């Protein structure tokens, strides 16, 4: 059975400069059974209500500015899965969205895992104002899809404070406040302490500094709800404080 995954997708430049995360994602994909379809909750599709992408051929959305022209030339022409989308919408009592393209939280990591772009992909939106408990529930509701060959991915970032990144820092530079927060989350995941994780904004050290807003950590709760046994696939930081961890839940 496929696991559920949490992927820290980092900067959009990950697609062209994969660093240590690219080989980790490639190896991970090679060790998994080939999915029949992929469902992604991305930090970059915030919404007021739950929505499910249902286009047959979603476009690739370069939802960022100020990057090199080569990045805007990258496409990810994976098909959608309208039938699966309708089924998911029924399970979640969500609205179908036939216009939603793939945002970079989806296509950047998938371009490294499945570069042939030949596996159908569905996105589920992120009602971020409803917090982590909602995402845990969404993951629990869709967990049974794992046994049916569907790979469930939460795509965000274990730490995400763009205002405190050091754009000159090498991978050996790690801000203590970012490391302390990351390690607290890992310890709570290893202990399966869902109550503490759901209350992370009050209990975790440096929570607000690492996540001024919730949206990049919330996909972790989707993956947690959809899986069971926690495991670490990859750990690391870029730019001093941008966590690049990848986790799996079997």
Q: What is the pLDDT of residue 172?
A: 85
β-strands 242-243, 237-238 pairing: antiparallel
Structural domain boundaries enclosing 98: 4-249
pLDDT in tens, 149-181: 999 999 999 999 999 999 888 888 999 999 999
pLDDT tens digits, 181-190:
999 999 999 9
d(CA 198, CA 158): 14
Indicate whether 192 pLDDT > 90.
yes
For 8, phi then psi, to 5°, come to: -85, 115
% of the chain exceeding 70 in pLDDT: 100
pLDDT at 123 over 90: yes
**pTM above the 0.95 mark?**
yes
Query: Among 18-27, 63-72, 164-173, 206-215, where is mean pLDDT lowest?
Result: 164-173
Rg (CA), the chain: 17
Look up residue 95 and give its two tokens: 């609205």
Q: Give the pLDDT of residue 170.
A: 82
pLDDT by residue (tens digit) across 14-37? 999 999 999 999 999 999 999 999
Q: Residue 167: what pLDDT?
A: 85
Q: Examine the pLDDT at 86 and tell me if it is beyond 90.
A: yes
CATH number for position 101: 3.40.830.10
What domain count does the chain have? 1
| Percent of the chain residues topping a pLDDT of 90 | 96
Looking at residues 214-231, what average pLDDT do you find?
97
- pLDDT tens track for 125-150: 999 999 999 999 999 999 999 999 99
């Amino acid at each position: 059975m496929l696991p559920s995954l949490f992927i820290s997708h980092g900067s959009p430049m990950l697609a062209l400069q994969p660093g240590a995360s690219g080989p980790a994602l490639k190896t991970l994909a090679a060790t998994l059974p080939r999915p029949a379809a992929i469902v992604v909750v991305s930090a970059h599709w915030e919404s007021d209500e739950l929505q499910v992408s249902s286009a047959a051929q979603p476009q690739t959305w370069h939802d960022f500015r100020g990057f090199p022209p080569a990045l805007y030339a990258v496409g990810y022409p994976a098909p959608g899965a309208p039938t699966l989308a309708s089924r998911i919408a029924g399970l979640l009592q969500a609205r179908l969205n036939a216009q939603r393209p793939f945002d970079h939280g989806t296509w950047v990591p998938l371009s490294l895992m499945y570069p042939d772009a030949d596996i159908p992909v569905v996105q589920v939106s992120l009602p971020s104002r409803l917090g982590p408990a909602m995402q845990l529930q969404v993951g629990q509701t869709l967990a049974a899809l794992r046994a049916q060959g569907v790979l469930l991915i939460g795509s965000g970032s274990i730490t995400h404070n763009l205002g405190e990144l050091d754009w000159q820092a090498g991978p050996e530079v790690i801000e203590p406040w970012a490391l302390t927060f990351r390690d607290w989350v890992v310890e709570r995941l290893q202990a399966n302490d869902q109550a503490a994780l759901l209350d992370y904004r009050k209990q975790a050290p440096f929570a607000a500094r690492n996540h001024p807003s919730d949206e990049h950590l919330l996909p972790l709760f989707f993956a947690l709800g959809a899986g069971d046994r926690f495991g670490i696939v990859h750990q690391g930081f870029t730019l001093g404080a941008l966590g690049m961890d990848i986790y799996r839940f079997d």
